[in-house]
Structure 1
Amino acid sequence: MSVPDRLADIVTTHTRIVLVVLLLTTALVGAGMPMVDDDSSLDQFESESDEAKAIERIDENFTSQQRENTTSIQLIARGDNVLTKDSLVSSLEFQQELRANESINSTLVENRSITGVENVVAITAIKNEEAAELNETSARLETGLDETIGLQRQYEQLNESYENGAIDDTEYQARSSELEAQFDATVENATAGLDENQTAQYESAVQQARAIESQRYAIRSQSENPEENPEYQQLGEQLEGVYRAGTAGVLEAEYAALQSETQPPLDEQLATLENMSDAEYERILEETLSSDGSDDNAAIALMPSSYEPGSTEAETRMTLVVQSTASDGTGGMGGSAVSERITDSQLHISDLAQNQEQDYVTFGAGIITDEIDRSMGDSLAIVGPLALLFVVIALLVAYRDLLDIVLGVAGIIAVLVWTFGFMGWADIAFNQMFVAVPVLLIGLSIDYAIHVFMRHREQREADGTGGTVRGSMTIALAGVGAALVWVTATTVIGFLSNLVSPIGPIREFGVVSSVGIVAALIVFGALIPAAKIEIDEFLESRGIDRRKRAFGTGDGRFSDVLTVGSTAARRIPIVVILLVALLTAGGAYGATQVDTSFQEEDFLAESPPAWTDRLPGGMAPGEYHAKDNLEFVNDNFQRQDRQAQILAEGNVDDDEFLEAVDTARNDTANSGVAHTLATGDTDVQDPLSTMEQVAAQNESFNESFTAADTDGDGVPDENVSALYDQLFEIDDESASQVLHRTDGGEYESARLVISVDGGVTASETTSELRTIASDLEANGDGDWSTIATGDPIVSHIVEQDLLDTVLESLVITLVAVFLFLTAAYRLTGNSATLGAVTLLPVAFSVSWILGTMYLIGMPFNVLTGMITSLTVGLGVAYSIHVSARYTLELERQGNVWSALRTTVTGTGGALLGSAATTVGGFGTLAFAILPALRQFGIITGLTITYAFLASVVVLPTLLVLWTRYFGPDVSFDASDDRLAATAASDGGTELDRGGDE
């Protein structure tokens, strides 16, 4: 007895033991289902590339311009003119509403958590007023010192008159008292409104000024040219210092507060805006939004790239809300994971924005995460029931028996329990890709059921009334078991070929799918047959006949359709071969043109179609706006998550480094990759630009910066290391964003941060920046190395990894399946060449499906990128069933044409049923909310269709050719075609089944 016979006998003889063991196993494995977590972050698709490692070094060694442990949400106001005073007032009132909400306010960072044009305009007005008041006070203090100097001169003249005897003691005392009173009045007038410390500081300055002026008066009295006297000059310098201490020094805290980034309270900002006259508002608005506006053009950065600086009209502007993720251990935008706390707060912000009179677009990592998660759930809610419904309808047509349908559905549920239970025990998170797993397993699992049930029905019909349920199932399982094991093995090979992928979720998808397919073999090869035996025997013992005709057998339309392949093989084999060759060549060309894509848009749902509104409450999807909002942001603003970087490591304090950086910066500006601000400038941050900004604000650094530029080209070319040191002393935060200094004070790396235009592809960004980085490295002659990195570049690497996955998994699958089939056919007594013949139609269908992807403009993404290995894994199953049945029928009947007809009507009928259910199951993914899932459903449905057509139309011709040149010596006589012969359901010979020889 063969191994398949023994296994079949065990299952059918010990059905109750099989049921108990497998049901308990199902319960045990299924206990892992509650442990399955979900993860929609796009970061999980990144591989351990050099660019990803460079980002890790950047995170370790540099501070971010975007504050650490933060994420942000962009609130974009839209309207006819969003720069009116009423519009800005409305935005400030909206900010008050956000602040008043505790769940939102608790997530905001401490300082400048909300920044919009409305804040910058109000703060500019407030600081202008404060600056005017400070300047007025400073002028009053300076006037007081001037008056002090004048009074002191009078005092010195009085002393001189007294010493010369021009006046007596009484007059001296009177005039002296009068001058002292004037001194006191001067101080009192100058210090009006100052606190005690400031008054004391000013009084000290007044006393110092009097003392210095007294000495200067004495020198002037004794010299005709006092200005040439060194002591007099020194006293003049001291007097200047006293003036500074008595004016700016007294008001130092106020001036520091004026330069502080701390925002005035919202109430004060709102009151300032509301109380401004129209003329004053227009003036402040123009000042704020001009190309040389205050606050380092902070307001300009919040305007769309199409905005004309200085204009008082615009259709859109942005407010940036910065939230802290420090307590969550997460952060970032787009693909970076955010916590539930941040997601909930951003959703709340979005809800409040929709209730404002002003139209707002909201865009943030939490909103994207929510939409991806919801689209995953909504997709499952729609396609899951639809897939089951389609399978039930298909089984109604194929089975025409309620009990078999129930058993089939129960088996599918058991397979899903095994699969998701395994995910829980293996700690594999449910991500965007795994939405396809239930549909995949529903479609593939039912194939096993159809083949087992149809073969069982054929055998029961062949056994007649003398046969038993248990005996027929034993023969059916033995006959179809080997083919099912082969199908499982080749399908698992196809899925496990994804283990070569550097992308973690793709590897996990391959493992989970493989586990699901093995579970399907166990469930439909043992659990469901055992249950069917027990139930059918119970019913037949009560007089209910359970014999049913197998789908596709007998005469009828399906039989006629299924014989197309065998007829073509007999009449026009050359035509079939030529057509296949032509289609395959065209598909191969198209395969080389298929694009690869990995971007957020692949995972963002569009607005659901109108028909979904009529779905029941549990299936109806929600609203989706992130994709449209993302497009709007890309077209108008700089996205917070679109930054590329060039990391330079080595002697970055070399005197030639800044010259090389300047060249790289100019190349970046001319590349078309960097985002262009409304001012026309590109948004690039680097050591040189940082020093230029600091030099514009700090006089001492500007002197050093200018002195280090010996050739006058605006770029320092000597004493670069000392310049770096001074930069860190003056503005450590800004310096740390672009330079890495070790604890020993050495400079080891620097970076350029490029804000990338949202409309530029990851491929274009990568190509341009790698060229610029390469040129920057070449300019160093080995003194420093460079690497281009950042989110767009890492995304492009994922695209390349996807393409590598497509090619590598295809080659591995084809080679592994070829070796498996040739070995399997050789070991079972057939020619090894049959393995190649069986695989050849699958190779054809791979070419066809890739050509189809090119024709319909479908790219490789994280799901469709697995289509090649999936095509081989799924397609070979159809070919194996046909080849296995053909060889067995050929041995039994001895005639090519009758064996071929029996194969395509018997096994072909089962294949048609399984293909219909699988295509229908995957076809339901076309109704998914996730775009990538829709594409995967469409292309996989076509894959199944091509595989089925290849197996029943192309493979018969190849089998005939194989039989003629490599197969057994059988009859090719069409007149000896025993078309009416009844085949044993397993395709075996009557001798094998105990008949007379």
Structure 2
Amino acid sequence: MVRYQAVIDRLDEWIVGRSRAVLLVFLVLTAGFGVGATRVSTEAGTSQFTEDTPAQEAFDAVEREFTPPFAAENGSTQLIQTGRNVLSKPELLAMLEAQHRLEQREELRVGSTVSAAAIVARTLDPNATTLEAQIRALERATPTEIEIAVRRAATNPEFRTLLSDDFNPRAASASATVGIVEHRIPRGIPDQAGAEASGEDPLAEIQSRAQSVVGTVDSDIRVFGSGIVTSELSSVVFDSLVIVVPAAAVLILVFLVFAYRDPVDLLLGVASLVMTVVWTLGFMGIVGIPFTQLLVAVPPLLLAVGIDYGIHVINRYREERIEDGASEGGVGRAMRRATDQLLVAFFVVTGTTVLGFASNVTSRLQPIREFGVVAAVGIVFTLLIFGIFLPAAKVAADRLRARLGVPAFGDRPLGEEGSLLGRTLQGSVALARRSAGSVLVVAFVLTVASGYYATGIDTSFSNEDFLPPEETPAYLESLPEPLAPETYTVTRTIEFLDENFATAEDDAVTVFVEGPLEEDYALESFQQANRNPPASFVADERRASAESIVTVIQEYGEQSEAFRRLVERNDIDGDGVPDDDLETVYDRLLSSPARGQALQYISDDRRSAQVVYATKSGASQEAITRDARAVAERYRFDATATGEIVVFQSIAALIFASAVRSLAVALIATAVFLAVVYRVLAGRAAFGVVNLVPIIVSVALLAGTMRLLGIPFNALTATVLAIALGLGIDYSAHVVQRFTDEYDARGEHEERGVREEREEHAERDGETEVFDALSRTVRGTGGALTGSMLTTVAGTGILVLAITPVLGQFGLVTALSIFYSYLTALLVTPAVIVAWATLSRSASARRDRT
């Protein structure tokens, strides 16, 4: 006890006696971290979560080795054309003209192009290998000749994948088509929703220019690709900040004005908040942690804790200042007494909050681990700035005020005796006095009921979590021009592609097979795995509907009599699948016109293959993933279930596991920490349990509310339970720490003779001391907590205005966690303290009788 008091006395000496030196040191550090903040890079999308997972590694291998014609490749742009009939002569010419104009622009670095129009032109004239020749071939052809060419091209699988699902070969018509433009990019960039959103994406500039070029063609052709996605992701983040930051700043300022009621104190509090964010961003820049969409949550969290610390410092200082009057000499004494209690409370709060956030490092997902590290470091910075810098700045400012004769405004503490807020807060003490047991019973029932209800909460992970909504909300469209967001097209385009084009990834999963595929049993193993498919797979006569190298062999056998006879000679059991001399079968197939199609399912070295299974549209992502893994286990080779559905479901499972694991680790670590700290500080380890009870209640209420509101665990909300515990401890720890100070101070100030005189009334007076200490705690600290709660709920809750829905969900659940923590700290904590006091007196009485 003496040791920690010596540390606090040393800090008090710096805060009060060397306040200017403290200010200088912190300003220099802020400048240094400010330089580091300029080095922070950004990263967005799903790829940051899926790295290093088995399903994603298999998915990458499939993309790398078996890229179908319509699949998005590195450095590619998609030209999406729509119309009454994109296979009519004018529309075919428009697509080729768009490709040609892009190819003519050297800065667009076009390497190759693919389109249904080009295939039709080559069907008309096999020698038309250039875009100019293809345009001439179409221009010379009559509409009838083009219709015949379309029907002939319809036998080409590549041609069909480039057309919408409503393609009618007989009528030679389709409502949409996609052309692919490949660019010569120095480095590969995933062309998918959720690609990296760093400002260094060369495709962003290329596709921006391509839009203007294609816009000169007389047809409805849209440019789409990772560059477009990157630009819109950046725009969504920027537009969200433009909307949310001013609104949050106004709300926070309004509540800070209510809490501080003094322009100088308001300025010091805001400056401290800014320093906290700058230090944290500077740390990220120095250690090289990119700013991800998950880390968007960190600044609001730091503001929440910083606002709480700041209001406590100013409010407690004002309480002590009233006793010393307005003299300059009273400034130092008041701040010493305030920091004597607050530095201990801040240490307890910071320790538990850091444990709550740092528990996320147990996650298997790197973004969540980085979130835990950054948030924990940011909270430590918050302790230093609001525990040392703000008190020193307040001392320096008030001393300067006293010398200059500048009056203070609103220097009364929140919740002071006799005020409306003070009287309102006393209701919790009165409730604990009347029936603490009833309060605890109600809290227990709510905790159990909410916790049980929360077991059914959903878990989700998808590209859509990171994209803007398909339709911009009406309330955003009504904003004035500087704040009005742009019209977003990415989500609408993705939905259009999903609805109109049947690609290999739509309602399908892939099994990636590795092994010596020239062994005689290889293709029979494929057939065996397809028998008796699971419930979520599409079945045809008790066989899974699948596309693989077996499918290509059978289809080419129908076209080539010689190849069909080769297969039959090597089909020992007569099931249509060769099971002998597969090397020769593969050689013949890969040297035939079907080579391109075959290489979509088997590698050139015959060491890996993919099997694509159709799945039922109504099946859940979880069921499809479970069944795909079961089928993969049937293969006689190393087989891994993959595909977007499997990858995202595996990440969703990891997110849920991370949430549960982080909460468990945080609860255990926090309980141990609090028990040790209160044993050292107050000689009462039981106060650690007192501190933790209201937090368990608030976490259970939050989880139950999430399910009630239909908010799932996703990339952002996965951390919310650990956040609720970290922020919730903030509120309850302040109440418990203030109570211990008030309770112990009353005993220390009593004269020994007075205590001996009261021994016969010890039980009654002990109860009086508890309620007196609770009354002063709830009135003083409760007032600061009220100001902090209103400010932080407004600041974080305003995220519901963000354009990306996932940010709005995070803002809502964070605001709810703060509100529940406030309620339980002021309603449940007094009842737990009264129960502790009752049990302590009973135990003491039993010991005395013994």
TM normalised by structure 1 equals 0.76
CA contact (8 A) 2:459 2:655 kept: yes
1:635 matched residue in structure 2: 499
2:79 matched residue in structure 1: 75
Q: Look at both structures and tell me which one has the larger radius of gyration over its CA atoms.
A: 1
**Residues 325 and 425 from structure 1, CA distance in 2 versus in 1: closer, same or farther, beyond 3 angstroms?**
farther
1:913 is aligned to 2:787: yes
Matches within 5 A, 1:525-536: 525-536=387-398
1:587 aligned to which of 450, 456, 463: 450
1:419 is aligned to 2:274: no
**Residues 76 and 329 from structure 1, CA distance in 2 versus in 1: closer, same or farther, beyond 3 angstroms?**
closer
Q: Letter of the aligned partner of 1:564 in structure 2?
A: G
Secondary structure in 1 matching 2:80: strand
How far the C-alpha of 1:505 sits from its partner, in A, is 1.1
Secondary structure in 2 matching 1:123: helix
1:297 aligned to which of 135, 138, 157: 157
More moved, 474-483 vs 713-722:
713-722
How far the C-alpha of 1:380 sits from its partner, in A, is 2.4
Aligned partners of 2:396 and 2:238: how far apart in 1?
A: 38
**Residues 64 and 684 from structure 1, CA distance in 2 versus in 1: closer, same or farther, beyond 3 angstroms?**
farther
Aligned partners of 2:493 and 2:535: how far apart in 1?
A: 28
Secondary structure in 1 matching 2:177: strand
1:508 matched residue in structure 2: 370
2:122 matched residue in structure 1: 123
1:815 matched residue in structure 2: 668
1:646 is aligned to 2:499: no
CA contact (8 A) 2:161 2:503 kept: no
Secondary structure in 2 matching 1:895: helix
More moved, 591-600 vs 764-773:
764-773
* Unpaired segments ≥5 residues, structure 1: 128-256, 258-262, 972-997
More moved, 74-83 vs 521-530:
74-83
1:802 is aligned to 2:663: no
1:573 is aligned to 2:575: no
1:273 is aligned to 2:275: no
- 1:637-691 alpha-carbon deviations (Å, 9 max, x no partner): 13587674312334533433313323545777995579x9xxxx99954221233
2:420 matched residue in structure 1: 557
1:540 matched residue in structure 2: 402
**Residues 59 and 455 from structure 1, CA distance in 2 versus in 1: closer, same or farther, beyond 3 angstroms?**
same
1:402 matched residue in structure 2: 263
Matches within 5 A, 1:430-441: 430-441=291-302
Aligned partners of 1:816 and 1:572: how far apart in 2?
A: 31
How far the C-alpha of 1:819 sits from its partner, in A, is 0.4
Aligned partners of 1:500 and 1:655: how far apart in 2?
A: 46
2:111 matched residue in structure 1: 109
- 1:53-74 alpha-carbon deviations (Å, 9 max, x no partner): 44566578x4544599634343
Aligned partners of 1:587 and 1:353: how far apart in 2?
A: 55
1:11 is aligned to 2:27: no
**Residues 639 and 423 from structure 1, CA distance in 2 versus in 1: closer, same or farther, beyond 3 angstroms?**
farther
* Unpaired segments ≥5 residues, structure 2: 747-767, 846-850
Q: Letter of the aligned partner of 1:633 in structure 2?
A: L
Matches within 5 A, 1:35-54: 35-54=39-58
Q: Letter of the aligned partner of 2:392 in structure 1?
A: A
Secondary structure in 2 matching 1:544: coil
2:677 matched residue in structure 1: 824
Secondary structure in 1 matching 2:520: coil
Matches within 5 A, 1:960-979: 960-966=834-840
Secondary structure in 1 matching 2:176: strand
Q: Letter of the aligned partner of 1:890 in structure 2?
A: Y
CA contact (8 A) 2:554 2:576 kept: no
1:317 matched residue in structure 2: 176
How far the C-alpha of 1:615 sits from its partner, in A, is 5.0
How far the C-alpha of 1:850 sits from its partner, in A, is 0.7
How far the C-alpha of 1:879 sits from its partner, in A, is 0.4
1:904 is aligned to 2:778: yes
**Residues 536 and 499 from structure 1, CA distance in 2 versus in 1: closer, same or farther, beyond 3 angstroms?**
same
Q: Letter of the aligned partner of 1:300 in structure 2?
A: R
CA contact (8 A) 1:841 1:955 kept: yes
CA contact (8 A) 1:495 1:870 kept: yes
1:707 is aligned to 2:560: no
- 1:192-233 alpha-carbon deviations (Å, 9 max, x no partner): xxxxxxxxxxxxxxxxxxxxxxxxxxxxxxxxxxxxxxxxxx
1:92 aligned to which of 92, 96, 120: 96
Matches within 5 A, 1:385-534: 385-465=246-326, 468-534=330-396
- 1:335-361 alpha-carbon deviations (Å, 9 max, x no partner): 444862212222334455567654445
How far the C-alpha of 1:499 sits from its partner, in A, is 0.3
Matches within 5 A, 1:294-373: 294=155, 296-314=156-174, 316-324=175-183, 326-337=185-196, 340-350=201-211, 358-360=219-221, 362-373=223-234
Q: Letter of the aligned partner of 1:878 in structure 2?
A: Y
Q: Letter of the aligned partner of 1:886 in structure 2?
A: F
- 1:115-142 alpha-carbon deviations (Å, 9 max, x no partner): 13x3333332334xxxxxxxxxxxxxxx
CA contact (8 A) 2:352 2:729 kept: yes
Give the alignment's Cα RMSD to 1 decimal: 3.1
**Residues 628 and 575 from structure 1, CA distance in 2 versus in 1: closer, same or farther, beyond 3 angstroms?**
farther
**Residues 801 and 387 from structure 1, CA distance in 2 versus in 1: closer, same or farther, beyond 3 angstroms?**
same
- 1:710-768 alpha-carbon deviations (Å, 9 max, x no partner): 343321122224323444555776655544576xxxx5443324587998764344223
CA contact (8 A) 2:549 2:602 kept: yes
Q: Letter of the aligned partner of 2:367 in structure 1?
A: P
2:28 matched residue in structure 1: 24
**Residues 329 and 86 from structure 1, CA distance in 2 versus in 1: closer, same or farther, beyond 3 angstroms?**
closer
1:922 is aligned to 2:784: no
How far the C-alpha of 1:376 sits from its partner, in A, is 1.9
Matches within 5 A, 1:568-967: 568-606=431-469, 607-613=471-477, 615=479, 619-638=483-502, 644-664=509-529, 671-672=536-537, 685-695=547-557, 700-728=562-590, 730=592, 737-740=600-603, 748-753=607-612, 762-775=621-634, 777=635, 780=636, 784-893=637-746, 895-966=769-840
How far the C-alpha of 1:433 sits from its partner, in A, is 1.4
Matches within 5 A, 1:142-157: none
How far the C-alpha of 1:482 sits from its partner, in A, is 0.5
Secondary structure in 2 matching 1:653: coil
How far the C-alpha of 1:922 sits from its partner, in A, is 0.5
**Residues 313 and 652 from structure 1, CA distance in 2 versus in 1: closer, same or farther, beyond 3 angstroms?**
closer
Aligned partners of 2:196 and 2:16: how far apart in 1?
A: 51
- 1:894-951 alpha-carbon deviations (Å, 9 max, x no partner): 6222222221111001001111111111012111122221111011000100000010
More moved, 501-510 vs 810-819:
501-510
- 1:358-386 alpha-carbon deviations (Å, 9 max, x no partner): 44455422222222222122222332333
**Residues 126 and 793 from structure 1, CA distance in 2 versus in 1: closer, same or farther, beyond 3 angstroms?**
same
1:264 aligned to which of 109, 116, 129: 129
CA contact (8 A) 1:594 1:859 kept: yes
Secondary structure in 2 matching 1:598: coil
Secondary structure in 1 matching 2:742: helix
Q: Letter of the aligned partner of 2:445 in structure 1?
A: L
How far the C-alpha of 1:787 sits from its partner, in A, is 1.8
1:379 is aligned to 2:240: yes
1:242 matched residue in structure 2: none
More moved, 932-941 vs 470-479:
470-479
CA contact (8 A) 1:739 1:750 kept: yes
CA contact (8 A) 2:536 2:616 kept: no
**Residues 949 and 688 from structure 1, CA distance in 2 versus in 1: closer, same or farther, beyond 3 angstroms?**
same
How far the C-alpha of 1:98 sits from its partner, in A, is 3.0
- 1:270-328 alpha-carbon deviations (Å, 9 max, x no partner): 3443444344444444444xxxx34x2333222333545534444x3221313235512
Q: Letter of the aligned partner of 1:868 in structure 2?
A: L
Aligned partners of 2:489 and 2:81: how far apart in 1?
A: 15
Secondary structure in 1 matching 2:575: coil
CA contact (8 A) 2:465 2:805 kept: yes
**Residues 8 and 638 from structure 1, CA distance in 2 versus in 1: closer, same or farther, beyond 3 angstroms?**
farther
Aligned partners of 2:363 and 2:732: how far apart in 1?
A: 27
1:987 matched residue in structure 2: none
**Residues 102 and 557 from structure 1, CA distance in 2 versus in 1: closer, same or farther, beyond 3 angstroms?**
farther
